[in-house]
Amino acid sequence: METVDPLELAAELRLAIGTLVRRLRVDDELPQNQAAVLGWLVREGPRTTSELAALQRVRHQSMARTVSLLTEAGLVEQQRHATDGRKLLVAATGTGIAALQAQRSRREGSIAAAISERLTPQEQRQLRDGVALLRRLA
């Protein structure tokens, strides 16, 4: 049985995933930083700008600019914190949720088309099994 070099495999995996992600981002309407913030808000609920900055590992000022752009686009709204009126929470709007879902659906459609067009049924099953392995690595 062939021995696998984990470091070499890791490099190949990083390259393949990076190439796939870059190709999927070409047609994105939302910049990556804005989509990431919307993703956090949709998954985790409203957060302060400081919390979002910490989650994204960016400076507060950078996140404030991102939140401002998202607010201007109608993708998020700011609301007073329920128990601490001094704090403002950032929450995804219906428009923001729809924009994020549209971007995700477009990406998934692109991947599904590539799977159907480029992989044999056996390769599709291998890829399905590989997704479970990727989840374990994550």
What's the predicted TM-score (pTM) here? 0.83
Residue 119: DSSP 8-state: S
pLDDT at 11 over 90: yes
Q: Which two tokens stand for residue 32?
A: 């990556």
**φ and ψ at residue 87, rounded to 5 degrees:** -95, 145
Band (pLDDT 50/70/90 cuts) for residue 132 is very high
SS3 content of the chain, % helix, strand, coil (to 5): 70, 10, 20
Cβ–Cβ < 8 Å for 58, 99: no
What was the pLDDT predicted at 2? 87
Q: Which two tokens stand for residue 21?
A: 């992600």
pLDDT at 114 over 90: yes
